[in-house]
Amino acid sequence: MEVGETANAAGAPTERGRLDKRRAIVEAALRVFARNGYAEASLDLIAAEAGVAKPTIYNHLGSKENLFRYVMTTTAKRSNAKALEVLESFPKEAGGLRGGLEDVAARLVDCYCDERSEAVRRLLYAEALRFPDLYDVVRASGADQFIEALAGRLARLANAGHLRIADPVRAANQFIALVYEELPVRSTLGTRPLAPAEVDEVVRAGVDTFLLAFGAPPGGDETAAPPTPAS
């Protein structure tokens, strides 16, 4: 039995021990893949980083390709779960809408600029030719689900007359683009730290632009709003 593995009364590793070991392998693999790239990342390096024997990786996750795919999709799911938690505080009324959107946007950016999330994005771009299907698989594990959830909340605001939105899914994508997409350029794909004031500037400007495009007219004149498609 290896260091860190717990055992039950019969001497067999417990399920908790297996889960902890798998998580250690996944975390170590992400660091090695991000640092070395897929081609140069060996299972020997990953095993040393995780503090496990190489056969343990095979027992848990099989080949390097299977490990890479599992790391990418699992990390995307975890990042998506954090982003979905942010939507719990999404504004529901016109009062405080700008401040509420800025707060949500700032917390989403924290999720997207997380070291693991940035590493997954860099690896997706770098390995697009080697794994042409993985981009769609990873998006299905994370970003696509989040966009649908954000679109639903924007649609509710539009149906209440607080926003003017004809296509909630497109509006959700544009909201993310406005508050985040400038940051990977400024940070060189997450490899250069950004000052908090710089991030705040991008977030506020993005929300301002979003409300200029989709904000309801003064006085709540819903006749000026484009129709929101029925779900």
Which among 183, 100, 187, 108 is positioned nearest to 143, based on CA atoms? 108
Return the C-alpha torsion angle 111, 116, 120, 123, nearest 10.
Answer: 140
Per-residue pLDDT, 140: 86
In terms of Cβ atoms closer than 10 Å to its own Cβ (0-12, 13-18, 19+), residue 193 is exposed
Per-residue pLDDT, 188: 81
231 residues of the chain, pLDDT tens digit each: 443 344 454 444 566 667 788 899 999 999 999 999 999 999 999 999 999 999 999 999 989 999 999 999 999 999 999 999 999 989 988 788 999 999 999 999 999 888 898 899 999 999 999 999 999 999 887 888 899 999 999 999 999 999 999 999 999 999 999 999 999 888 887 788 889 999 999 999 999 999 999 998 765 544 334 444 444
Per-residue pLDDT, 132: 92
- In 3-state terms the chain splits into helix, strand, coil percentages (rounded to 5) of 70, 0, 30
**Structural domains of the chain ordered from first start:** 1-62 (1.10.10.60), 73-224 (1.10.357.10)
pTM: 0.79
Per-residue pLDDT, 33: 97
Per-residue pLDDT, 6: 43
Contact 179, 101 (CB under 8 A): no
Per-residue pLDDT, 222: 41
Per-residue pLDDT, 225: 41
- Rounded to an integer, what distance in angstroms lies between the CA atom of residue 55 and that of residue 46? 11
Encoded tokens for 8: 């039950």
What φ, ψ does residue 165 adopt, rounded to 5°?
-135, 125
- Rounded to an integer, what distance in angstroms lies between the CA atom of residue 30 and that of residue 37? 10
